[in-house]
Structures are given as structure tokens and as C-alpha cells.
């Protein structure tokens, strides 16, 4: 079955790939990545709004003061996220360079993100402790650690039970979204996989949000002056 699915994906890619995309040797195109997420990982995806022009820093949405230019849903909206390869192929056939967004929560992964420098240090520490982490998305400014799906109620209970949670942590849960490679981050710079998701049987490993938050809170404690190790 996986072999048949692979052949179908290849036919879609061959039919929809533009000459520009076909000549790119830097990595997968947005279409390739979107089809992989939708069909092999079963993650619901949709295209981001993108920029107003190829060299523009302005978002293509109507808001002239957009704070995440190009890196958010607009048309289609977040609720349109899907794992249907025909819909995914149609979207990126019309907009081959559109950013790739994953709708988080439900049956899809959620994420915990923190500043890039602090994240790199925290990941080294968690590896040394033997903690098993899942895929990690990296932008020039922040890293996002993917975790198993959780509800907003569960997250609220988890945070309420903590004496302190670093303000630098952000949570991408139900009703949210995450920018995935090979997109461009809103502030510029490429989005990439610090740790790629496994596409084999059973999909990628995803730790529980409690384990990740507990470990990050522990990593932030005891910083000089009572500050947060996760703040930079």
C-alpha cells in the first residue's frame, strides 16, 4: 500500500512541478513537502498567505501592519486544512511558492516553541538527560518542539499546576498552526527541520506535552539573578 501511495505522489509531483521547481536542487519544493505531510504523516496542511511580491517584505493579506507577514492563513482559512492530496495539489499548483502551514491540535501534532538560542541549549541538555524528543522545526529566531496532541483544557491544568512557566514559551495547540519547511519565516530566513519527522510505519515519535514543559521549566530554573535560561 505504501509503495502504491508513493507512486501516486510521484505522479502528482511530476504533473504539477513547474520548471523552476524542477531545477531547484536545494531541497523539496513546497508541493513535495505538503504532499509528504498530508499523505505520509497525515498532518492537515494548507498554504499560507505569502508575500505581496517575490521580493516584498509586505504580507499579501489586507492588513498593512501584519505582524507575521506571509506566514499565516488567510484564503483559504485555517479550517480548510486537509490531508486530501488532490486539494493539496490544487492549492500549490495555483501558488507553487506558498508557505506550508500545519493546523495543530485534534489528531495532528501540537508544539511548544521558545527562542532559538535557548532552544538549542535546552535540547542539548535534554539529550544528555536521555529524554526522547520528536521532530523540531527551526527558524532563525525560534525553535518549535512537536508534541503529542493535547486539548486546551489539559494545557491549562498543566500550566496552573506550575509555580512558574517562562514567558518565552509559546504553545501551538488546538485551533493554532505552525509554519513548516521549506517556508520562509515572517521575519526572513528559512524554516528548516532541526530534527526531521520519520515517515515510516507509525509516523514520528511525539512526546507528551507534560514531559517537554516539565523539562523546559527545569532547564530554566536556577539561572543567575533569578532570570530564565529560556529567555534568549
Query: What would the pLDDT profile of 146-181 be if each residue is shown by its tens digit?
Result: 999 999 999 999 999 998 888 889 999 999 999 999
Predicted pLDDT of residue 54: 66
3-state secondary structure of 27: coil
Is the pLDDT score of 224 beyond 50? no
Q: How far is residue 201's CA from residue 180's CA, in Å, rounded to a whole number?
A: 21
In the chain, pLDDT over 90 holds for what percent of residues?
Answer: 63
Predicted pLDDT of residue 140: 92
Query: 131, 79 in Cβ contact below 8 A?
Result: no
Query: 178, 43 in Cβ contact below 8 A?
Result: no
pTM (2 d.p.): 0.84
pLDDT in tens, 104-121: 999 999 999 999 999 998
Report, as an integer, the average pLDDT of 191-200.
Answer: 92
Give how far Cα 39 sits from Cα of 4, 152, 210, Å: 12, 26, 28
Query: 134, 206 in Cβ contact below 8 A?
Result: yes
First CA to last CA distance, the chain: 46
| 170-172: strand order across its sheet | 170-172, 110-115, 142-147, 136-138, 192-195
Predicted pLDDT of residue 6: 53
Rounded to 10°, the helix 209-220/152-160 angle is 30
Residue 228 is placed in which grid cell?
Answer: 530564565
Predicted pLDDT of residue 27: 76
Predicted pLDDT of residue 22: 39
Predicted pLDDT of residue 229: 63
**Residues 202, 138, 225, CA angle at the centre, nearest 5°?**
115
Mean pLDDT of the chain: 85
- Residue 20, Cβ density class (10 Å: 0-12 exposed, 13-18 middle, ≥19 buried): exposed
Is the pLDDT score of 189 beyond 70? yes
Amino acid at each position: 500500500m505504501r509503495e502504491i501511495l508513493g507512486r501516486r505522489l510521484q505522479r502528482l509531483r511530476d504533473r504539477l512541478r513547474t520548471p523552476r521547481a524542477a531545477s531547484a536542487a536545494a531541497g523539496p519544493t513546497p508541493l513535495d513537502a505538503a504532499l509528504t505531510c498530508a499523505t505520509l504523516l497525515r498532518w492537515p496542511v494548507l498554504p499560507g498567505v505569502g508575500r505581496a511580491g517575490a521580493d516584498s517584505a509586505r504580507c499579501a493579506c489586507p492588513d498593512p501592519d501584519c505582524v507575521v507577514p506571509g506566514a499565516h492563513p488567510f484564503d483559504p482559512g485555517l479550517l480548510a486544512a486537509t490531508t486530501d492530496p488532490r486539494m493539496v495539489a490544487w492549492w500549490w499548483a495555483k501558488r507553487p511558492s506558498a508557505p506550508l502551514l500545519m493546523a495543530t491540535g485534534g489528531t495532528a501534532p501540537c508544539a511548544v516553541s521558545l527562542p532559538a538560542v535557548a532552544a538549542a541549549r535546552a535540547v542539548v541538555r535534554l539529550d544528555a538527560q536521555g529524554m526522547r524528543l520528536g521532530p523540531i522545526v527551526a527558524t532563525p529566531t525560534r525553535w518549535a518542539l512537536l508534541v503529542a496532541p493535547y486539548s486546551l483544557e489539559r494545557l491549562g491544568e498543566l500550566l496552573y499546576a506550575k509555580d512558574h512557566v517562562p514567558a518565552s514559551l509559546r504553545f501551538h495547540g488546538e485551533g493554532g498552526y505552525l509554519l513548516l519547511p521549506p517556508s520562509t519565516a515572517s521575519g526572513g530566513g528559512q524554516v528548516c527541520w532541526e530534527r526531521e519527522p520519520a515517515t515510516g510505519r507509525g509516523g514520528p515519535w511525539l512526546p507528551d506535552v507534560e514531559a517537554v514543559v516539565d523539562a523546559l521549566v527545569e532547564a530554566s530554573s536556577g539561572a543567575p539573578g533569578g532570570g530564565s535560561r529560556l529567555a534568549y
